[in-house]
Amino acid sequence: MKNITHLLSLVANDMHHVEEKMRSGIADRYPDLAAVVDYLMGAGGKRLRPVLTLMAANFYSVDKEKSYSLAASVELLHTATLVHDDLIDNSLLRRGMPTLNVSWNSGATILTGDYLFARSAELAAETQNIRIVTIFAQTLMTIVSGELQQLFNDGHGNVPNRQEYEQRIYAKTASLFAAGTNCGAILCGASAVEEQALHNYGYHLGMAFQIVDDILDFQGDEETLGKPVANDLRQGVATLPVMLFAQKSPNHPTIRKAVRRESVSDKEIESVVKQIKTSGCLEAAMTEARQLVQQAQTDLTVLPNNPYRQAMHEIADYAVSRNI
């Protein structure tokens, strides 16, 4: 597999314009907010969502300025959701860096997320395409609905079933991947078949990406992860590895306590993490992620065999081989 940096270099020049778009319209009005955006943009990550949006938009001739606005819209929407997620989860670290919660009160953090949502919608509108604006609105509702569903189910004490889990990771991650690649296809005038293929690619890749995130939550250490090991379980969220383990040990006391949002000690978490690691459940979850990636790569076969398709194929491989 090619180095991920090499794959991203295909749209590196475009990404400079995208980052300028993300910052535009903020600094003049709110210098403090501009500093926050700079901070959030520097908090790591490969920017896969805007990168894939740009690649999908470049299969055919496209208005470059509109593609920059679209990609910036996708990444700002993602950034806004992270701001709100960190507040809801009371997270103090993301990728090893302090979140806004450390230095700002909840009101300022909420309004920052709200502003970024609004700015991302404004950028989506710059494409002057009603279908793209509609998909943007639907995706935002999907993401927020997923968060609300999780909050309303808070502490109910049940490990989710497969359908509930898939709905959650679609809302959390795959919906925005799919929206980006779908809207990129719309912007460059791809055929209906190609548009559906790029939507499906984003969906399958996004689902795999989140499953790998859920696996990585049990691997490495806090320094590598930038957050505590088994952070989701500590928050009472049962992900695919936990679900698979619970099928083998349905009455495991630590998992039952965790999903009920009861107090769970570090020692209890460390113990169940070791059990999950030796149970084969991480490997089983990774098998599912690889199957989704293979489907994503199959989705691409109806598209022109150009450098963008090749890069998207290899980015899918990266999604299941990364360690962060």
How open is the CA angle 175-180-184, to the nearest 5 degrees? Answer: 145
Quick one: pLDDT at residue 60?
Answer: 98
Are 257 and 263 in contact by the 8 Å Cβ rule? The answer is yes
Are 176 and 139 in contact by the 8 Å Cβ rule? The answer is yes
Give dist(CA 125, CA 132) in Å, integer: 8
Residues in contact with 221: Cβ distance below 8 Å, sequence separation at least 6, in sequence order: 229
Single-letter amino acid code for the residue at 143? I
DSSP letter at 251 equals T
Place of tokens 């400079």: 16
How open is the CA angle 82-88-90, to the nearest 5 degrees? Answer: 95
Are 179 and 288 in contact by the 8 Å Cβ rule? The answer is no
pLDDT 10s per residue in the chain (324 long)?
Answer: 446 888 899 999 999 999 999 888 776 667 777 777 776 776 556 799 999 999 999 999 999 999 999 999 999 999 888 886 766 666 655 555 555 555 656 677 788 888 889 999 999 999 999 999 999 999 999 999 998 887 777 656 789 999 999 999 999 999 999 999 999 999 999 999 999 999 999 999 999 999 999 999 999 766 666 678 898 999 889 999 999 999 999 999 999 999 998 999 999 999 999 999 999 999 999 999 999 999 999 999 999 999 999 999 999 999 999 877
How open is the CA angle 185-302-306, to the nearest 5 degrees? Answer: 75
Domains and CATH numbers, the chain: 4-319 (1.10.600.10)
Give dist(CA 169, CA 161) in Å, integer: 13
The pTM assigned to this predicted structure is 0.92
Place of tokens 């113990």: 271
Place of tokens 């809302």: 171
Task: Determine which helix (DSSP H) or strand (DSSP E) holds 94, and give its type and residue range.
Answer: strand 93-94
Are 195 and 65 in contact by the 8 Å Cβ rule? The answer is no
Are 89 and 154 in contact by the 8 Å Cβ rule? The answer is no
